[in-house]
Amino acid sequence: MDSSNDEAVDIIITNVVATFRTRCHLNLRTIALEGINVIYKPEVGKVLMKLRKPRITASIWSSGKIICTGATSEDEAKLGARRLARCLQKLGFKVRFSAFKVVNVLAVCSMPFSIHLVDFTKKNRPIASYEPELHPAATYRIKNIKATVQVFSTGSLTITGPNVQNVATAVEQVYPLLFECRKPLCK
C-alpha cells in the first residue's frame, strides 16, 4: 500500500470473478455425466463445476464461455481457470485456454475510525449517495476506475472493481474523504 496514509489498512480480497473461453463447443451432458462436483442446470443451459483447490465455482456454457468465481486473488483465479480447462481437456474436448480476464474483484476493508454517513454524503454529492431506508451503507462510485465503495458507519468498507489494482486505488482515493468525516467515538 502507498505510504500516503499514516496507517496501513488491510484490504482483504473476498472474491475474484474471471472469464475465459475454450474456443470449442462443450457438450454439457457429457460434462455432467463424466465430471465429479458437477451440477447440471438444463433450464438455464449451463453446468456448474466446483474445484477444491483453489476453491472456485465455474459456470460453463456450451458455447465454451466460462465464468469462474470464488478465488481470493487474481493469480488464484488464473490457476483455477487453467485447472478447469485441463479438466475439460481430459473429458475429451479440444480446449484452447484463451481470453482469460478478471472482470470483477470484491474486497473488504476496515477503517480505524467510524464515519458520519450523512456528512460524508453531503460533502461528496453526487458521487456519494445514502438511502437509509434501502441500505445501511453510503455508496461512493468512482467512475473513471469503475469502482464502487460501500461505506458503513462503523468504518467497514466493501469495494468492488474490475481488478485488484483498481480496488486498491479506490481505497486510496476514498480514505481522505472518509477521514474528514470521521465521527468521534465517545459521543
Residues that bind another protein (CB under 8 A): 7, 12-13, 17, 19, 33-37, 44, 49, 51, 53-55, 57, 59, 61, 65, 67, 69, 72-79, 82-83, 86-87, 90-91, 103-104, 112-114, 116-118, 125-126, 129-137, 146, 152-154, 162, 185-187
Rounded to whole angstroms, the Cα distance separating 70 from 162 reads: 15
Whose Cβ is closer to another protein: residue 16's or residue 174's? 16
In this structure, how many other beta carbons lie within 10 angstroms of the beta carbon of residue 23? Answer: 12
Whose Cβ is closer to another protein: residue 150's or residue 173's? 150
**Long-range CB contacts for residues 141-149, cutoff 8 Å, separation at least 24:** 142/170, 142/173, 142/174, 145/169, 145/170, 145/173, 149/174
Q: How far is the CB of 33 from another protein (least distance, A)?
A: 6
SS3 96: coil
| Residue 170 CA neighbour count, 13 Å, CB half | 31
Q: Do residues 122 and 173 touch, judged by C-beta distance below 8 A?
A: no
Whose Cβ is closer to another protein: residue 77's or residue 174's? 77
Q: Which three cell numbers stand for residue 19?
A: 472469464
Q: How far is the CB of 160 from another protein (least distance, A)?
A: 10
Q: How far is the CB of 16 from another protein (least distance, A)?
A: 11
Whose Cβ is closer to another protein: residue 70's or residue 174's? 70
Q: How far is the CB of 98 from another protein (least distance, A)?
A: 13
